[in-house]
């Protein structure tokens, strides 16, 4: 009697070798070359399948997000599954109209003629995603890649292993494996992937690895969208609605335990505003997460001990006003919401992106100094201002540079499928979300058409003398 077959593993072990990766990319290229991904109906069908997959795997995905980051189901719905579903819905409604060729006039020199911009797929694309919103930041770019008519390899973050495995299983079960593939793994697998030739790489994560990705991409002249981070400032103006500001800042900072690329990194205000804002910040922290945030279902955990140690190292206990290391628990990866006052610009906490639940409060003389401070640093992913004054809004709009600028709100703007999302300078390059995603994952190809006769361009052909030369001189003046 033969022994019974061992049960099939829930998730296929996907630790491929460099040869496997080369073969996989070859298969995806064959799919692209066969034209499978071009018809809009086929793209819409893959997007629908992804949406259904998200629904079918909802339980497993929520569990994975809880395991990796202590995310509650409600928060995961809001910031992960919901964002991807919204992105899919928006693409499904708009894709046909976005793909309609856009007319342009080629100008008098080429008359008579007609011009059209066609959005053509790029080919085989690679998405490399980070651990902090491990579902959203993996699948939202995949939506754009599919919508653009590309095949795609997705490499989720190994730092959120449960979510990585759950995504691999969702994609394998619901999407066409000749179109979308997941490669799980860390540096080794990503390095093997980067040795392959892609037609676009979208990477989300820190700028050090961003440089590695850009360098590898340059070998093949592969364009990159780099979604990086930075120290996103928040300035609270005198006369702003401090209650709304405190609510927005606490929510923006402590959602996902501060591990959000667009979290307000540090807060600037005049001493007078700071002293009035402080009690409101404390009150909002208590209101949102209770007297003991470690018991709140709405408060997340630091992803790993290594990250816990890094953020804990930025806390100066002497400057802690609330939270700090006293109630922190490394074993449980719990760091409480922490406010630090009396922070100087030279302090350790101001030398790198905090990416954790620590909010330093810094005194400035007014909006002019706040603008100067932002200008003195690297360009952040986003900047926040709470104000009632138009001139302060204008100063930030005109004089500072950041991926985006949000006035009187935090965080929520990045969930909008109609807002292009991305950084500038050290916070990244390129944008996606909604139409911007389609634009990133396609080539805008101008197609220009002239009737054969009259052959008006003869005027530019040599010999360029006499009447022709005179005519050209007139036209090109």
Binding site for ligand NAD (CB under 6 A): 128-132, 137, 155, 157-159, 186-187, 190-191, 204-206, 209, 212, 227-229, 261, 353, 355, 381, 423, 428
Name every residue whose Cβ is closer than 8 Å to that of residue 100 and which is 6 or more positions away in sequence.
none
**How far is the C-alpha of 413 from the C-alpha of 397, rounded, in Å?**
16
**Which residue, judged by CB position, is nearest to ligand NAD in the bound state?**
229
**Least distance in Å: CB of 343 to ligand NAD?**
20
Residue closer to ligand NAD, measured from CB, 190 or 442: 190
**Least distance in Å: CB of 4 to ligand NAD?**
37
Show the tokens assigned to 142: 């995949």
**Least distance in Å: CB of 300 to ligand NAD?**
14
Mapped onto helix, strand or coil, the DSSP state of residue 384 is: strand
**Torsion sign (Cα): 195, 226, 157, 165:** negative
**How far is the C-alpha of 293 from the C-alpha of 282, rounded, in Å?**
12
Residue closer to ligand NAD, measured from CB, 259 or 270: 259
Which phi-psi region, left, alpha or beta, contains residue 107 (left: φ > 0; alpha: ψ -120 to 50)? Answer: left
Name every residue whose Cβ is closer than 8 Å to that of residue 125 and which is 6 or more positions away in sequence.
145, 148, 150, 151, 152, 153, 198, 199, 200, 201, 202, 441
Residue closer to ligand NAD, measured from CB, 32 or 384: 384
Residue closer to ligand NAD, measured from CB, 53 or 161: 161
184, 261, 284, 439: which one is catalytic? Answer: 261
Q: How many CB atoms lie within 10 A of CB 303?
A: 24
Does the active-site annotation cover 227? yes
Residue closer to ligand NAD, measured from CB, 429 or 459: 429
**Least distance in Å: CB of 260 to ligand NAD?**
7
**Least distance in Å: CB of 124 to ligand NAD?**
18
- Which spans in 125-241 are helix H? 136-147, 161-174, 187-194, 207-219
**Least distance in Å: CB of 252 to ligand NAD?**
14
- Which stretch of DSSP H or E encloses residue 200? strand 200-204
80, 189, 227, 284: which one is catalytic? Answer: 227
Residue closer to ligand NAD, measured from CB, 159 or 168: 159
Rounded to a whole number of angstroms, the distance between the first and last alpha carbons of the chain is 92
Name every residue whose Cβ is closer than 8 Å to that of residue 36 and which is 6 or more positions away in sequence.
42, 176, 178, 179
**How far is the C-alpha of 42 from the C-alpha of 299, rounded, in Å?**
40
Residue closer to ligand NAD, measured from CB, 76 or 364: 76
**Least distance in Å: CB of 7 to ligand NAD?**
30
Name every residue whose Cβ is closer than 8 Å to that of residue 254 and which is 6 or more positions away in sequence.
285, 288, 289, 299, 337, 357
Does the active-site annotation cover 261? yes
**Residue 355: C-alpha distances to residues 308, 335, 349 (Å):** 10, 12, 10
Mapped onto helix, strand or coil, the DSSP state of residue 204 is: strand
Active site positions, annotated? 227, 261
């Amino acid at each position: 009697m033969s022994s019974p077959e061992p049960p099939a593993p829930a998730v296929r072990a996907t630790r491929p070798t460099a040869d496997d990766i080369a073969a996989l990319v070859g298969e995806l290229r064959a799919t692209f070359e066969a034209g499978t991904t071009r018809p809009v109906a086929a793209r819409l069908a893959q997007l629908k399948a992804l949406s259904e997959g998200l629904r079918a795997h909802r339980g497993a995905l929520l569990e994975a997000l809880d395991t990796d980051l202590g995310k509650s189901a409600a928060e995961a719905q809001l910031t992960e599954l919901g964002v991807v579903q919204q992105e899919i819905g928006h693409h499904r409604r708009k894709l046909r109209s976005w793909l309609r060729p856009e007319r342009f006039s080629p100008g008098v020199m080429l008359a008579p003629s007609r011009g059209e911009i066609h959005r053509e797929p790029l080919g085989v694309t690679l998405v490399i995603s980070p651990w902090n919103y491990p579902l959203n930041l993996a699948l939202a770019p995949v939506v754009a890649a599919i919508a653009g008519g590309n095949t795609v390899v997705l490499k989720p973050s190994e730092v959120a292993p449960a979510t990585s495995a759950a995504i691999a299983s969702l994609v394998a079960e619901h999407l066409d494996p000749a179109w979308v593939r997941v490669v799980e793994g860390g540096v080794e697998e990503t390095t093997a992937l980067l040795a392959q030739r892609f037609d676009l790489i979208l990477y989300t994560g820190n700028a050090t690895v961003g440089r590695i990705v850009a360098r590898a991409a340059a070998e093949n002249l592969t364009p990159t969208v780099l979604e990086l981070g930075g120290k996103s400032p928040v300035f609270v103006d005198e006369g702003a609605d401090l209650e709304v500001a405190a609510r927005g800042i606490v929510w923006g900072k402590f959602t996902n335990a501060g591990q959000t690329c667009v979290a307000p990194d540090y807060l600037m205000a005049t001493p007078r505003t700071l002293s009035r804002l402080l009690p409101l910040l404390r009150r909002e922290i208590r209101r949102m997460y209770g007297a003991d945030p470690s018991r709140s279902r709405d408060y997340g955990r630091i992803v790993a001990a290594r990250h816990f140690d890094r953020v804990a190292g930025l806390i100066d206990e002497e400057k802690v006003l609330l939270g700090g290391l006293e109630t922190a628990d490394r074993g449980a990866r719990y760091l409480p919401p922490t406010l630090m006052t009396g922070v100087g610009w030279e302090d350790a906490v101001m030398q790198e992106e905090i990416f954790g639940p620590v909010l330093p409060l810094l005194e400035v003389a007014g909006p002019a100094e706040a603008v100067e401070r932002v200008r003195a640093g690297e360009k952040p992913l986003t900047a926040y201002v709470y104000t009632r004054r138009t001139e302060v809004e204008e100063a930030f709009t005109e004089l500072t540079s950041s991926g985006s600028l949000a006035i009187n709100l935090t965080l929520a703007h990045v969930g909008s499928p109609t807002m292009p999302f991305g950084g500038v300078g050290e916070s990244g390059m390129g944008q996606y979300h909604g139409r911007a995603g389609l634009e990133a994952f396609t080539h805008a190809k101008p197609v220009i058409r002239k009737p054969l006769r009259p052959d008006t361009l003869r005027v530019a052909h040599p010999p360029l003398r006499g009447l022709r030369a005179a005519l050209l001189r007139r036209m090109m003046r």
